[in-house]
Amino acid sequence: MNPFQYVTAHTPDEAVSLIGKNGRYLGGGIDLLDEMKEYIVSPDVLVNVKHVFDTKNAQPIVFTKDPNGCSIDATVTIADIAAHEELKKVLPGIAEAASEVGSPQIRNVASLAGNLLQHSRCWYYRQPDIVCLKRGSQTCYAQDGENKYSSLFSGCACISPIVSNLSVILTALEATAEVKQAGKTRSLSIGELYHEVLKNPAAHNSLEPQDFLLSVNVPTKRTRSAYRQVSEKSEFDWALVSCAAAGNVAAGKITDARVVLGAVAPVPYMVAEANQFLEGKPLTEVTASKAADIILKDAKPLAQNGYKVPLAHTLIRRTLLALNT
């Protein structure tokens, strides 16, 4: 690990002013410190942002009556999200996704921002002795190499999939991210938060290093939500495939449905045709299975990740049917 300066910011504006040209924001540090120890990144300064919001006098998770419904500070811990009683009642899919992150020890320090903005877990990217496409070379070694965990749907030369649990459920719920950029606050959809990844294989998200994620706003217009994932290990492991679904269910029929997959593409993967198919349909095993067929019809498995297709099919069915309860 190379030498660096360490400073603490007490407001978002102060954090942005301290970051410099080669600095990084430090919340829980789960991902960042791993990259620093492997010399994948070497920032000149770390800006501690754990104290940028006054949580003694304000709640980091707030429900309001406006259309956004719920506001979650970016520095709130994953453990607090998973344990929040009102989230469990109103937006259960978010609490479910948070509860699947890492281990209890990690959830106690990891933040919402860290989960959304974490970098690729592809072992070629994480190997310090290999310079892959995402780190500036011309080659994605996973294409013809070890691709057990790679994308089924890529859309770009890098086939490293997104592994953020919360990005998947927040996409399903049509959440927006509030970001401080160049002195102004912008509201980005979760899709916009990641769209740069599809254009630039070196990108992990659409933010510049100086951009500061303030909060996430989640509409509560969908009264049902669920998140499911399958991992190789029950604790401290990323999803092989994850799925989130949200919508409204009345008399057994679903409306305003959105189904999103994670760990199968570089960004949260959603198929509009499947959402349209579900509109007004009875939420049955047959309907859920047909929706899964539509979502997965364009999958392009590689040599070692074909198992993700039936896994995703099962998860889509289970997640949609969970909206009945």
Gap between the Cα atoms of 100 and 102, Å rounded: 6
The answer to whether residues 262 and 243 touch, using CB atoms and an 8 Å cutoff, is yes
Q: Looking at the DSSP assignment, which residues form a beta bridge with residue 71?
A: 62, 217
Residue type, 254: I
Q: How many CA atoms lie within 13 A of 317 on its CB side?
A: 12
Whole-prediction pTM: 0.95
Contacting residues for 135 by C-beta, under 8 A, at least 6 apart? 40, 125, 202
Q: What is the pLDDT of residues 80-91, one digit of tens each?
A: 999 999 999 999
User: What domains can you pick out in the chain, each with its CATH number?
Assistant: 1-51 (3.30.43.10), 58-218 (3.30.465.10), 224-322 (3.30.390.50)
- Mean pLDDT by runs of 10 across the 325 residues of the chain is 93 94 93 93 95 72 84 95 96 97 93 96 93 94 96 92 97 97 93 96 95 96 97 88 98 96 98 98 97 98 97 98 93
